[in-house]
Amino acid sequence: RVRCRAWRAAPSGLPREGLTVLYSRIAGTGSYLPDRVLSNADLERIVDTTDAWIQERTGIRQRHVAADGQTTADLAEMAALRAMEAAGVTAADIDMLVVGTTTPDLIFPSTACLVQARLGANGCAAFDVNAACSGFIYALSMADKFVRSGQSKCALVIGAETLTRMIDWTDRGTCVLFGDGAGAVVLKPSEETGILSTHLHADGGYKELLFNPVGVSAGFIDEPGHGVKVKMIGNELFKVAVRALARTAEEALAANELPQEALDWLVPHQANLRIITATARHLGLPMERVIVTVDRHGNTSSGSVPLALDEAVRDGRIQRGQLLLMEAFGGGITWGSALLRY
Ligand code: COA
């Protein structure tokens, strides 16, 4: 039982004397990838590109693509069920459901509401967070605050996307990068250390680097050169991302007075292997302590961090008690991190 609901940890994340600290802790993880795999060789037949270029510039070999009619909520539901099973909870236990997504099935109801109804978790709070590829980190941060304050006893946090649906398949600069997928975690209150801190940022001044121009006011016209397609200035975004991720990693460690050497794992957003390598180098972490899925998943946006986490938890690399730094960046631009003991 939780004796003290207040969050009064010292900056180090250690309880102040005489106080019981309530953390939110990951009780279980799950993920789901659609069956269909699109290889670089497949893309060579669609746009003017080569497997060698894609691998050298991004590290991506293949990505998964949702089947016709398969939606973000479908992927989210599968990931959620697996996370719930791993955490040993049922739909009746869930009292909060947050979905990070930038590819919701509908404008409304939110994807969280659609998933809630399918799971049978009706009645609890359910909402989407749109922070583009940082969506899962943003969603996790929201849920962490609710659990820590005692308002939620069992939060389901999902990152789910069908980003390939809004890709211009004639634009070789973007279509080789993205894939579909979902990951989820169940957060529960714990007196054992869990999430130490989360750090969220955005700079709307960089909107032009990555955006999708459709919307309620802009309209939803899908024509060549317009419409429901992601626009990106990749090489500019690359530089901004590397700088932002290095800063947020430093920020998370400094806020908890922890040295870089304390980190067991970096679980980064999987956009480009070169960005991941640059962040790891900045942290002085060897690549053996970085979870990499971008080679097989491509960039699954909000799905990428929880997919990587689930893979490494299930294959036994990530162990209970280890210190993890998760980080992400995306359109907005948005970026952020979560430092936690698994
Ligand atoms: N195949 C072959 N050539 C390609 C190509 C492809 N798929 N995509 C772009 N090119 C070409 C360009 O047309 C350009 O040709 P040019 O020199 O004749 O004009 C050349 O490669 C270099 O383009 P550039 O954009 O400078 O390459 P890059 O090394 O920056 O790599 C990205 C491009 C997109 C892989 C890289 O910038 C990147 O990953 N940026 C971050 C994107 C990202 O993470 N987005 C999601 C954020 S959540």
Catalytic residue among 113, 133, 154, 175: 133
Query: What is the per-residue pLDDT for 221?
Result: 72
Question: DSSP per residue over 159-214, as a string?
Answer: EEEEGGGG--TT-HHHHTTB-EEEEEEEEEEESS--EEEEEEEE-GGGGGGEE---
Burial of 321 (0-12, 13-18, 19+ CB in 10 A): exposed
Question: 334 and 201 in contact (C-beta within 8 Å)?
Answer: yes
Instruction: For residue 237, give the nearest of 269, 215, 260, 200 by alpha carbon.
Output: 269
Is 175 an annotated catalytic residue? no
Query: What is the per-residue pLDDT for 220?
Result: 79
Query: What is the per-residue pLDDT for 187?
Result: 98
pTM over 0.85: yes
CA distance 237 to 232: 8
Is 40 an annotated catalytic residue? no
* Count of CA atoms in the C-beta half-sphere (13 A) of 291: 27
Question: 297 and 179 in contact (C-beta within 8 Å)?
Answer: yes
Separation of CA 214 and ligand 1 centre (Å) = 23
Question: DSSP per residue over 134-162, as a string?
Answer: THHHHHHHHHHHHHHTTS-SSEEEEEEEE
Query: Would you say the CB of residue 209 lies under 6 angstroms from ligand 1?
Result: no
Instruction: For residue 283, give the nearest of 237, 339, 230, 245 by alpha carbon.
Output: 245
Query: What is the per-residue pLDDT for 27?
Result: 98
Residue nearest to atom 42 of ligand 1 (CA): 234
Instruction: For residue 271, give the nearest of 132, 77, 96 by alpha carbon.
Output: 132
Catalytic residue among 40, 130, 272, 299: 299
**In which residue are the tokens 């409304």 written?**
108
CA 290 and chain centroid, separation: 15
Is 154 an annotated catalytic residue? no
Query: What is the per-residue pLDDT for 216?
Result: 86
Helices and strands per DSSP (H, E), number in the chain: 10, 13
Separation of CA 231 and ligand 1 centre (Å) = 13
Per-residue pLDDT of the chain (342 residues; tens, 9 = 90+): 334 344 444 455 555 565 667 899 999 999 999 999 999 999 999 999 999 999 999 999 999 999 999 999 999 999 999 999 999 999 999 999 999 999 999 999 999 999 999 999 999 999 999 999 999 999 999 999 999 999 999 999 999 999 999 999 999 999 999 999 999 999 999 999 999 999 999 999 999 999 998 888 888 776 655 557 899 999 999 999 999 999 999 999 999 999 999 999 999 999 999 999 999 999 999 999 999 999 999 999 999 999 999 999 999 999 999 999 999 999 999 999 999 999
The conformational region for residue 45 under phi > 0 = left, psi -120 to 50 = alpha, else beta, is alpha
Question: Three-state SS for 30?
Answer: strand
Query: What is the per-residue pLDDT for 223?
Result: 62
CA distance 309 to 311: 6
Query: What is the per-residue pLDDT for 3?
Result: 42
Query: What is the per-residue pLDDT for 72?
Result: 98
Question: 312 and 291 in contact (C-beta within 8 Å)?
Answer: yes
Question: Three-state SS for 37?
Answer: strand
Query: What is the per-residue pLDDT for 183?
Result: 98
The DSSP output letter for 73 is H
Question: 270 and 291 in contact (C-beta within 8 Å)?
Answer: no
